[in-house]
Amino acid sequence: MNIWITGPESCGKTELAQFLVQHLEGAEYVEEYARIYLEKKLPSLDYSRDELEHIVEEQISRWEIELLNTQTHHIIDGDILVLKIWVEEVYGESWPSIERWLNHFSPDLLLLCKPDVPWIADPLRTNPNDRDRLFEKYVQACIDLSWPYHIISGGYDQREKTALELVRRALSIDESKQR
């Protein structure tokens, strides 16, 4: 089962993903490659279009290796919608590699984190005042893709409780289908 955690900056994606991995036996954490790449560039956050294309291609390649070659549950921190919306925001366009991925893979469970938790400053984050507008772009993308999603909101304890319930319910449904 592939559990995608998505949403705008500083909405609790990574914290929720790590929580779920700790509480789901055998689940694997699939890290967001953009963070790995961009942390190496600090203190500068300047990146070129070629670098963003590299980030997208590398992330997709890592997902394909993880998702296609293992039979475990994956908790994906920062899914393809993050890349889609990032590219649309920066360049005002869609990229074929992202669109192909979106049409080829879909989540088994999509958790959309609402930005109703406090902004946490981080050298890689740039949009503290635009999270609500970006959140609506995520909602619209899910609707456009006809992907069912669950909004995760409230304080961190509530988010963790809600997400764990949703994942456990999805896993029990998935296991009953396999029998």
d(CA 16, CA 152): 10
**Predicted pLDDT of residue 174:** 62
Kindly list the distances between the CA atom of residue 155 and the CA atoms of 5, 21, 79, 113, 135, in Å, as whole numbers in the listed order.
16, 19, 22, 11, 17
**Predicted pLDDT of residue 104:** 84
Alpha-carbon torsion (26, 16, 126, 2), positive or negative: positive
CB 34 within 8 A of CB 166: no
Identify the structural domains of the chain with CATH numbers, from first to last.
2-178 (3.40.50.300)
Predicted TM-score (pTM) of the model is 0.92
d(CA 161, CA 152): 10
- Give the chain's count of helices (H) and strands (E): 7, 5
Per-residue pLDDT of the chain (179 residues; tens, 9 = 90+): 899 999 999 999 999 999 999 999 889 999 999 999 999 999 888 899 999 999 999 998 888 887 777 778 899 998 899 999 999 999 999 999 999 988 888 899 999 999 999 999 999 998 899 999 999 999 999 999 999 999 999 999 999 999 999 999 998 876 555 54
